[in-house]
């Protein structure tokens, strides 16, 4: 471990991370102020077989496993219904038999690890700039808190106790809103031999980006069918693919960092329509039980599966029907252990975790307002004003960074 991490951890108090609270406040300010609490009745949609009543009390938050049909077979209506029910109840699900080839995923993970292993200066040269661009490299939050020299700075560090123990790299749509992607370049004089394959990195991420776009369309077709809409209802909303591919690296950390109250990623909900999450075998992702009874529930890796969860904009679009569930990344559970945490047997260091999140959004030029069938009559009015997708995302991102 670099000494900076130890320094950062040493001054952290075990209280609830304050950034988490800030994050929640920000959410309320920006959008969630109008978000209904879970105790409000969820509108009923008459266009589809009677929707399963949502939790919170008797439906465990554990994500369901849903298997997609092999292409070119369309999604059966029953699968679509199960998918929407999962998004309404836990807000999370596992999708197997998805169309992203394992070989491509393996390449994405390998190149991601190589990217994060680059010298810091090469990563910093690609630094994330603005919420509008939302592209590039985001460094570890802990670097900010490792430089404390005065008591005022220590106090500020405590404020920052919830800073995420992660670094990331964001890729947007080529030619989309916010400008060009920030791709790493070949190091001069190094070539591919023994160096970082910058071209392979770019091409692989671009290929993955397109595959993710397609999977987004598949998921939204399921949502449309289950809502009693035309299967292709959302096609015109997701065709451009204004999505964000985020490579994530949670570096190895001393176990005691977690004992001191730190997390790898603080509790948050996602912003867009859905998120597709691919994780390595490490574990650590947890979702909040919307009913509150089970607290945080582990959503561990399952071979060949992508984790799908609904974001705030889909919740808003569906007039509150779909649930955008809070989640976080913490110390992984003990492998083969019972109830303990720690990720790997023995040792004082919790190994690294890598994941790949594909944040899907409605195209940025689309107007998002309550979907047909989710309001009116007994279902009540529209709970949110309509909003432009791109402006919404920019607002949310500005509040985070
Ligand atoms: Ni998330």
CATH classification of the domain holding 219 = 2.60.120.330
343 vs 308, more confident: 308
Q: State what percent of residues in the chain have pLDDT above 90.
A: 59
> Average pLDDT in the 41-52 region?
36
Q: What pLDDT shows up at residue 145?
A: 29
How far apart CA 115 and CA 121 sit, in angstroms, is: 12
Q: Answer yes or no: is 141 within a domain.
A: yes
Specify the number of domains making up the chain: 1
**359 CA distance to ligand 1 centroid (A)?**
9
With a cut of 90, say whether residue 245 has pLDDT above it: yes
DSSP state of 18: H
Q: Answer yes or no: is 189 within a domain.
A: no
> Average pLDDT in the 106-115 region?
97
Least confident of 97-101, 168-172, 185-189, 329-333: 185-189
Q: State what percent of residues in the chain have pLDDT above 70.
A: 75
The whole-model pTM stands at 0.80
> Average pLDDT in the 53-60 region?
45
Q: Answer yes or no: is 184 within a domain.
A: no
Asked if residue 122 lies in contact with residue 201, where contact means CB atoms within 8 angstroms, the answer is: no
Q: Answer yes or no: is 10 within a domain.
A: no
With a cut of 80, say whether residue 215 has pLDDT above it: yes
> pLDDT digit string (tens) for 29-41?
333 333 333 333 3
**30 CA distance to ligand 1 centroid (A)?**
17
Q: Answer yes or no: is 6 within a domain.
A: no
> Average pLDDT in the 252-258 region?
90
Query: What are the residues whose beta carbons fall under 8 Å from the beta carbon of 399, sequence distance 6 or more?
Result: 26, 27, 29, 30
With a cut of 80, say whether residue 255 has pLDDT above it: yes
How far apart CA 353 and CA 281 sit, in angstroms, is: 8
* Tokens linked to 279: 């994780």
160 vs 290, more confident: 290
**270 CA distance to ligand 1 centroid (A)?**
5
**277 CA distance to ligand 1 centroid (A)?**
9
Q: What pLDDT shows up at residue 188?
A: 65
Query: Which chain residues have CB less than 5 Å from ligand 1, an ion?
Result: 270
As a dihedral over the C-alpha atoms of residue 322, residue 323, residue 324, residue 328, rounded to 10 degrees, the angle is: -150
Q: Which range marks the domain in which residue 258 is found?
A: 19-40+63-179+196-330+347-400
> pLDDT digit string (tens) for 141-180?
733 323 333 445 444 544 555 678 999 999 999 988 888 9
Q: Answer yes or no: is 1 within a domain.
A: no
* Tokens linked to 123: 């990563």
How far apart CA 189 and CA 80 sit, in angstroms, is: 53
Task: Please report which confidence band the pLDDT of residue 49 belongs to, taking 50, 70 and 90 as the band edges.
Answer: very low
**250 CA distance to ligand 1 centroid (A)?**
14
Taking alpha carbons only, the member of 171, 174, 168 closest to residue 401 is 168
Taking alpha carbons only, the member of 243, 136, 131 closest to residue 178 is 131
With a cut of 90, say whether residue 50 has pLDDT above it: no
Asked if residue 75 lies in contact with residue 69, where contact means CB atoms within 8 angstroms, the answer is: yes
User: What mean pLDDT, rounded, does the chain reach?
Assistant: 80
Task: Please report which confidence band the pLDDT of residue 390 belongs to, taking 50, 70 and 90 as the band edges.
Answer: very high
Q: What pLDDT shows up at residue 339?
A: 60
Q: Answer yes or no: is 321 within a domain.
A: yes
Q: Answer yes or no: is 86 within a domain.
A: yes
> Average pLDDT in the 320-333 region?
92
């Amino acid at each position: 471990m670099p000494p900076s991490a130890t320094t950062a951890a040493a001054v952290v108090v075990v209280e609830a991370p304050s950034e988490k609270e800030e994050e929640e406040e920000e959410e309320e300010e920006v959008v969630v102020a109008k978000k209904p609490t879970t105790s409000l009745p969820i509108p009923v949609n008459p266009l589809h077989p009677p929707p399963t009543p949502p939790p919170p009390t008797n439906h465990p938050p554990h994500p369901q496993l849903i298997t997609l049909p092999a292409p070119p077979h369309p999604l059966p209506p029953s699968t679509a219904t199960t998918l929407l029910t999962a998004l309404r109840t836990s807000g999370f699900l596992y999708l197997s038999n998805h169309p992203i080839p394992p070989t491509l995923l393996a390449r994405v993970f390998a190149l991601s690890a190589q990217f994060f292993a680059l010298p810091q200066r090469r990563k910093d040269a690609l630094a994330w700039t603005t919420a509008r661009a939302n592209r590039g490299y985001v460094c570890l939050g802990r670097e900010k808190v490792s430089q404390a020299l005065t008591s005022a700075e220590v106090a500020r560090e405590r404020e920052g106790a919830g800073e995420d123990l992660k670094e990331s790299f964001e890729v947007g749509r080529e030619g989309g809103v916010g400008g060009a992607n920030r791709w790493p370049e070949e190091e001069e004089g190094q070539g591919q031999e023994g160096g970082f394959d910058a071209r392979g990195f770019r091409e692989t991420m671009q290929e993955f980006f397109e595959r993710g776009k397609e999977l987004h369309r598949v998921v939204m077709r399921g949502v449309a069918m289950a809502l009693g809409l035309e299967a292709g209802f959302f096609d015109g909303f997701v065709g451009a693919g204004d999505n964000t591919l985020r490579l994530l690296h949670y570096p190895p950390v001393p176990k005691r960092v977690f004992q001191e109250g730190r997390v790898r990623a603080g509790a948050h909900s996602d912003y867009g329509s859905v998120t597709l999450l691919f994780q390595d075998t490490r574990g650590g992702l947890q979702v909040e039980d919307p009913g509150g009874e089970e607290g945080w529930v582990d959503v561990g890796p399952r071979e060949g599966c992508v984790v799908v969860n609904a974001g705030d904009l889909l919740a808003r679009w569906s007039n509150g029907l779909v649930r955008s569930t809070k989640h976080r990344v913490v110390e992984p559970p003990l492998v083969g252990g019972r109830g303990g945490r720690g990720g790997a047997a023995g040792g004082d260091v919790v190994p690294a975790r890598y994941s790949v999140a594909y944040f899907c959004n409605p195209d940025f030029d689309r107007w998002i307002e309550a979907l047909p069938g989710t309001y009116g009559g007994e279902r009540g009015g529209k709970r949110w004003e309509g909003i432009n997708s791109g402006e919404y995302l920019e607002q949310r991102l500005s509040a985070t960074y």
